[in-house]
Amino acid sequence: MVNVPNIELNDGNKMPVVGFGLWKVSNDTCAEQVYNAIKTGYRLFDGACDYGNEVECGQGVARAIKEGIVKREELFLVSKLWNSFHDADQVEPITKKQLADWGIDYFDLYLIHFPISLEYVSPETRYPPGWYYDGESEVRHGKTSLESTWKAMEGLKKSGLAKSIGVSNYSGALLLDMFTYAEIKPATLQIEHHPYFVQPNLIKLAEQHKIAVTAYSSFGPLSFIECDMKVAEDTPTLLEHDIIKKAAEKHGKTPAQVLLRWATQRGLSVIPKSNSPKRLAENLDVTSFDLTSDEISQISDLDRGLKFNVPTNYGIPIYVFA
């Protein structure tokens, strides 16, 4: 089995550098996929209230623990606070509900999913009218400040419901703002990150403050048409890019492995998702070879500020990094 190294977080906890992302993992297959991923060697699982599959994630984990494949303390289970639960008095109840869904009593890491507060509806309903595909044009934002949400997140760490706490989709400006009020600094920052969207200054800022960065969407857009990106007609996807393909050939790896290695070699953790058992195994095996410093720089030079995984591309009318 592949030996996945850990990163030490700023609170002393250790996090594997490769995990399995749980977005778009279907409810029908999720328990089986999580169970199989544990058997393959995955220990980090990146879930979220918004992915709607936390019960099934927990079922996969429970089966692996029951069969003695893994112990709870060997897993690193991550979840996220959804936008409509930002009110300080909603944070602990929804975390407890999510923990109950997973069937566990603590998260290893719990993140603020987006720096956006939406109107609270109910514990079962994540989306107020106007969010996601319902045809209304106005999103109902909440009135909670990020500061009060973070104070409640600090409460989760203090009470042990989350061993580590962090943020996702925060800009550098929002991190700097946070440092003025945070008693506990975020342990991690989860962001879109791939060679077409590198964000070197944000990563430098996180490093300066010992905040570990996790990359999501590491392969970039798999199709520019699907995510409605306006790019030059001859722009290849990253998996088809000559520079990536050449490095893959040289190291006897796949382009996907090169992209994941590029990120991990630069100190980031990665959380790819795959429905295919072959690609699942491939994605875990990304620390057993090293790219040369020239290859790393050539790949980093592909940066073109191309952020694609934004909620607006999924039918959400208004999106503000407040």
Ligand X SMILES: NC(=O)C1=CN([C@@H]2O[C@H](COP(=O)(O)OP(=O)(O)OC[C@H]3O[C@@H](n4cnc5c(N)ncnc54)[C@H](OP(=O)(O)O)[C@@H]3O)[C@@H](O)[C@H]2O)C=CC1
Site for ligand NHF in 101-120 (CB under 6 A): none
Residue 16: closest CA among 96, 60, 74: 74
Residue pair 202/268 in contact (Cβ under 8 Å)? The answer is: no
> Residue from 15, 22, 81, 175 that binds ligand X (CB under 6 A)?
22
Strand runs (DSSP E) across the chain, as ranges?
Answer: 6-8, 14-16, 19-21, 44-46, 76-81, 107-112, 162-168, 188-192, 212-216, 269-270
Contact positions with ligand NHF (CB under 6 A) in 254-313: 309-311
Residue 176 or 222: the one with the smaller Cβ distance to ligand X is 222
Residue 43 binding result from ligand X, ligand NHF, none, given CB thresholds of 5 to 8 Å by partner type: none
Q: How far is the CB of 279 from ligand NHF (least distance, A)?
A: 19
- Whether the CB-CB separation of 38 and 60 falls below 8 Å is answered with yes
Does position 275 interact with ligand X (CB under 6 A)? The reply is yes
Task: Express the helix, strand and coil content of the chain in percent, nearest 5 each.
Answer: 40, 15, 45
CA distance 262 to 295: 9
Residue number, nearest CB to ligand NHF: 50
Site string for ligand X, 171-210 (x = CB under 6 A): -------------------x--------------------
Is 209 annotated to bind ligand? Answer: no
Chain length of the chain: 322
Planar angle of CA 168, 172, 175, nearest 5 degrees: 65
- Please give the residue ranges that form the binding site for ligand NHF (CB under 6 A): 23, 48, 50, 309-311, 314
- Please give the residue ranges that form the binding site for ligand X (CB under 6 A): 21-24, 46, 113, 168-169, 190, 216-219, 222, 239, 254, 256, 271-276, 279, 282-283, 309
